[in-house]
């Protein structure tokens, strides 16, 4: 009896810890959403570059070197989630449109109404498995720390490179890097 109680207590404790971890992750991502919307963070998906304003970078660096690396990793995870969600939404929309076009081109396609179109879309969406779409690759990226300025042409304060696979980061001031760009 005591063994069962101990086992139940340990399992409940693990569940509570998992819930707390999920809560912390949700709070972090909610905060990141607000920061992205405010413009203090910008992720260029095509060039694979992250732009961080100086006040935010100072705030993130206040947690020490490990805190800085973890912050950049969390930012990348969030940007990756947004990118994956965007690709997933486009993929589903493409498949739904193709299913509706196929239905309209069928012999009974003339009698399709709005409710039928929604039903076709729901049915096609239900058929799609997560494995049907290739997720975006996890790639290293560059990040730039830029001053909080409204001027059109502003030089970065710092520049860095981060590899999410290994959590390795390199950071240098813009003054150090600028001399190597001409070479």
Cα–Cα distance between 100 and 95 in angstroms, integer?
9
Q: Which of 47, 49, 71 is nearest to 58 (CA)?
A: 71
Position 109 pLDDT exceeds 80: no
Encode pLDDT of 53-63 as tens digits: 999 999 999 98
In this structure, the answer to whether residues 19 and 63 fall within a common structural domain is: no
In this structure, the answer to whether residues 147 and 164 fall within a common structural domain is: yes
Which domain, by its residues, includes 65? 39-181
In this structure, the answer to whether residues 176 and 134 fall within a common structural domain is: yes
Cα–Cα distance between 35 and 29 in angstroms, integer?
10
In this structure, the answer to whether residues 43 and 126 fall within a common structural domain is: yes
Average pLDDT over residues 15-31: 91
In this structure, the answer to whether residues 65 and 113 fall within a common structural domain is: yes
In this structure, the answer to whether residues 1 and 73 fall within a common structural domain is: no
pLDDT level of residue 25 (50, 70, 90 thresholds): confident
In this structure, the answer to whether residues 4 and 60 fall within a common structural domain is: no
Cα–Cα distance between 40 and 44 in angstroms, integer?
13
Tokens of 17: 């810890």
Encode pLDDT of 125-161 as tens digits: 888 887 777 888 888 999 999 998 767 778 889 999 9
In this structure, the answer to whether residues 53 and 130 fall within a common structural domain is: yes
Q: Which of 101, 102, 96 is nearest to 122 (CA)?
A: 96
Tokens of 166: 């290994």
Domain count, the chain: 2
Position 50 pLDDT exceeds 90: yes
In this structure, the answer to whether residues 44 and 20 fall within a common structural domain is: no
Crossing angle between the packed helical segments 2-38 and 64-105, to the nearest 10 degrees: 80
In this structure, the answer to whether residues 23 and 75 fall within a common structural domain is: no
Contact 54, 61 (CB under 8 A): no
In this structure, the answer to whether residues 126 and 92 fall within a common structural domain is: yes
Cα–Cα distance between 168 and 129 in angstroms, integer?
33
In this structure, the answer to whether residues 46 and 81 fall within a common structural domain is: yes
């Amino acid at each position: 009896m005591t063994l069962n109680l101990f086992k139940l207590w340990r399992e409940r404790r693990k569940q509570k810890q998992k819930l707390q971890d999920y809560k912390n992750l949700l709070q972090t991502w909610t905060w990141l959403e607000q920061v992205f919307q405010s413009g203090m963070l910008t992720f260029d998906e095509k060039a694979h570059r992250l732009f961080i304003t100086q006040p935010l970078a100072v705030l993130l660096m206040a947690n020490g070197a490990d805190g800085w690396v973890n912050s950049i990793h969390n930012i990348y995870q969030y940007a990756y989630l947004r990118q994956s969600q965007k690709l997933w939404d486009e993929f589903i929309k493409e498949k739904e449109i193709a299913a509706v076009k196929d239905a309209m081109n069928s012999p009974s396609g003339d009698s399709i109404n709005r409710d039928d179109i929604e039903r076709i879309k729901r049915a096609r969406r239900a058929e799609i498995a997560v494995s049907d779409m290739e997720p975006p690759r996890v790639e290293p990226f560059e990040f730039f720390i830029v001053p909080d300025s409204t001027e059109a042409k502003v030089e970065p304060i710092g520049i860095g490179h981060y590899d999410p696979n290994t959590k390795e980061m390199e950071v240098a001031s813009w003054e150090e890097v600028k001399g190597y760009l001409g070479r």
